[in-house]
Amino acid sequence: MDRIRIVGGNQLQGVIPISGAKNAALPLMIASLLTDDTLTLENVPHLADVEQLIRILGNHGADISVNGRRERQGESYARTIHFTSRNIVSTTAPYELVSKMRASFWVIGPLLAREGKARVSLPGGCAIGTRPVDLFIEGLAALGANIEIDGGYVNATAPEGGLTGGRYVFPKVSVGATHVLMMAATLANGMTVIGNAAREPEVADLAKCLNAMGAKITGAGTGTITIEGVRSLSGARHRVLPDRIETGTYAMAVAMTGGDVILEDTEASLLDTALEAIRRTGAEISETNSGIRVVRNGAGIRPVDIVTDPFPGFPTDLQAQFMGLMTKSSGVSHITETIFENRFMHVQELARLGAKISLSGQTAKIEGVSRLKGAPVMATDLRASVSLVIAALAAEGETMVSRVYHLDRGFERLEEKLTRCGAHVERVSD
């Protein structure tokens, strides 16, 4: 099993190309099930989660071909992928596939809308919280679906004539459920209104793609989304938006180590709240023609309090990374997690590097220390794993991060991108 070895102490200098967003690519790929034409997606990152979803879509009958990479960045794995779901051969998503990635549950929306039925395994538990599917079920029921849970599977059927437009107000914001209900509603009869919808850029990106396929969606990116159902969708070509979580992660890495890095092919507007928090730590952040420039000179890291919130608030997917940054601040900071009930598993691993962190409910108190020291650590989930990398970049000596398959789920070529900017990071195969 691979591990990542990091020797801390080097500033970061150079250019880091930002990949396409995993959290945008996955629902876009699933949207290909809505049409029998070809959906072509550009800037798709090469990640374990993407590869797993390719296998899942293939199980439903999608024909998938991959070609290309960025010409001017031959080392990048960004790809163009063509998805053609002309014939749906199965409307069942089995446990052995869904259990490996929660987002695969989202196929229930397109399958139900296009085929009138879907049998999808419940995704099971999750390391960072329960994340129940009740919002998905209630939303689809509002479109007329009949849904039963039996033997660990959600069995959904549409009434004769297909789904019908309806109104559903989410009791709490859910990005995944917003994706699913929006996709299902594109082929429903009549008008659908989604209230308290997720406003994340990835939701707006999905709506942009669906509209290019012939859907009639307005309001995506706001709390109210309106969808006028159409009889069928066509193919389209769409470029996946930049990964705001990767952008924020590398910005925090520069703030942690010091240096001067251009984050290329990304947009500040995707993560204004997070960038403002990083500025408050003492880093300088400015927009350039090619992306974002992050600079921190020899000044110390100032403590900053944050609270995670749905977009446009501070992203929960950057909470662990920010905690890693705060471990070397010049004072006391507090991080409150409001999205997931069990997203502080990285605390004990950061403590192995010398961090001083205490927990009280959903709030972590971080007392900054003057030095961290390398140690063996273990990744517990995707975002937690990269928080250890950020801390290790500023730690004295060697840190060995195990279970890096978590990193491979969401960060394309992380060790290579950091190494090109002067970090001492290498993958070690046992």
Q: Is 133 annotated as a binding residue?
A: yes
- Among 66, 89, 125, 126, the active-site one is 126
Q: Is 279 annotated as a binding residue?
A: no
Q: Is 203 annotated as a binding residue?
A: no
Under 8 Å between Cβ of 52 and 25: no
Output the CA–CA distances (angstroms, integers) from residue 204 to 23, 178, 220, in the order listed: 12, 11, 5
Among positive and negative, which fits the CA dihedral 133, 139, 143, 146?
positive
Q: Residue 263, Cβ neighbours under 10 Å: how many?
A: 26
Annotation says 421 is catalytic: no
Quickly list DSSP for 291-360.
Answer: EEEEEE-S--BPP--EEB-STTSB-GGGHHHHHHHHTTBSSEEEEE--S-TT--THHHHHHHTT-EEEEE
Q: Is 317 annotated as a binding residue?
A: yes
Chain centre to alpha carbon of residue 166? 29
Q: Is 131 annotated as a binding residue?
A: yes
**What are the residues whose beta carbons fall under 8 Å from the beta carbon of 150, sequence distance 6 or more?**
none
Q: Is 110 annotated as a binding residue?
A: no
Q: What is the DSSP letter of 102?
A: G
Q: Is 175 annotated as a binding residue?
A: yes
Chain centre to alpha carbon of residue 113? 25
* Cα–Cα dist 305/277, whole Å: 8
Q: Is 306 annotated as a binding residue?
A: no
Structure tokens at 358: 């205490």
Classified as helix, coil or strand, 365 is strand
**What are the residues whose beta carbons fall under 8 Å from the beta carbon of 71, sequence distance 6 or more?**
none
Under 8 Å between Cβ of 107 and 93: yes
Under 8 Å between Cβ of 427 and 400: no
Which among 19, 109, 99, 23 is positioned nearest to 55, based on CA atoms? 99
* Cα–Cα dist 282/303, whole Å: 9
Q: Is 294 annotated as a binding residue?
A: no
Give the count of alpha carbons within 13 A of 282, CB side only: 20
* Cα–Cα dist 377/253, whole Å: 18
Q: Is 379 exposed, middle or buried (0-12, 13-18, 19+ CB in 10 A)?
A: buried
* Cα–Cα dist 409/107, whole Å: 19
Buried b (16+ CB within 10 A) or exposed e, 382-408: bbbbbbbbbbbbbbeeebbbbbbebbb
* Cα–Cα dist 246/237, whole Å: 24
Q: What is the DSSP letter of 222?
A: B
Instruction: Point out the annotated binding site for phosphoenolpyruvate.
Output: 22-23
Instruction: Point out the annotated binding site for UDP-N-acetyl-alpha-D-glucosamine.
Output: 102, 131-135, 172-175, 317, 339
Tell me the catalytic residues. 126
Instruction: Point out the annotated binding site.
Output: 22-23, 102, 131-135, 172-175, 317, 339
